[in-house]
Homo-oligomer: A and B are copies of this chain.
Amino acid sequence: MNETIRNILARRSMRSYEARPVEEEKLAAILECAQFAPSATNRQPWHFTVVLSRAMLDKISAENKKVMLASPDEKVRQRAQDPGYDSFRGAPMAIIVSGAKEAAYAACDCANAVENMAIAATSLGLGSCYLGSFKVAMERPEGAHLLAELGIPEGYVPLYALSIGYGNESLGERAPRKEGTITFIQ
């Protein structure tokens, strides 16, 4: 097994972080990896919002909390009731990835970019968490002001986010993989 495969397999969801910021050179390398992800017909239908402001992450999180507290799903309400609730898992920063609405493969292309960043972060000794639920408020009309504040261009929608930082928890055993997911055609 080589170093790259070791890092692909070592990537885990980190849900607790130290406060210390991510170094600029590391962030630059992570963003370069994002931009060189494969995209259908090399369209690169993505926009990256690099949120280095914890105040902005707290603001998004507070708006999400309001939406979640009004959810018909009890589990969602319970999660938001946690006094320590944070959509970004306490990370010092997060990168929000938005996709062009009219790019047919944007969901795929942007996922490739996030996965590249997550692997790069692992290789640099950083933890990360791939997030989908960070956008519940900004998807609604009353939270749409956040799109402008985050510099998300017209015609793009937030799809995923990656929180990044130095991990502050030791991760246990990996969850087992599902059985029977591979068919060989010889």
Task: Give per-residue flags for A1-23: 1 if the beta carbon is below 8 A from chain B beta carbons, else 0.
Answer: 11111011101010000000000
Residues of B within 8 A of A112 (CB): 111-112, 114-115, 130
Residues of B within 8 A of A184 (CB): 50, 52
Q: Is the CB of B183 within 8 A of A49?
A: yes
Q: Is the CB of A3 within 8 A of B4?
A: yes
Question: Which residues of A79-96 are within 8 A (CB) of B?
Answer: none
A174–B44 alpha-carbon span in the complex (Å): 13
> What residues of chain A have their CB less than 8 Å away from a CB belonging to chain B?
1-5, 7-9, 11, 13, 29, 31-33, 35-38, 40, 42, 44, 46-53, 56, 105, 107-109, 111-112, 114-116, 118-120, 122-124, 130, 132, 149-152, 159-160, 174-175, 177-178, 181-186
Q: Is the CB of B13 within 8 A of A38?
A: yes
Given A44-B178, A108-B160, A5-B185 contact (CB < 8 Å): no
Q: Is the CB of A183 within 8 A of B150?
A: yes
Q: Beyond A3-B3, A4-B8, A44-B177: 18 further Cβ-contacts under 8 Å? A: A3-B4, A3-B123, A5-B120, A35-B178, A36-B174, A36-B177, A48-B181, A50-B182, A52-B186, A53-B185, A108-B159, A109-B111, A111-B112, A112-B130, A115-B116, A150-B185, A151-B185, A152-B183
A2–B2 alpha-carbon span in the complex (Å): 12
4 closest Cβ pairs, A-B complex: A151-B183, A4-B123, A111-B111, A108-B111
Q: Is the CB of B35 within 8 A of A124?
A: no
List 11 interface pairs A-B (beta carbons < 8 Å), by A numbering: A3-B123, A4-B119, A4-B122, A36-B177, A38-B115, A47-B181, A48-B183, A107-B108, A108-B132, A108-B159, A150-B183
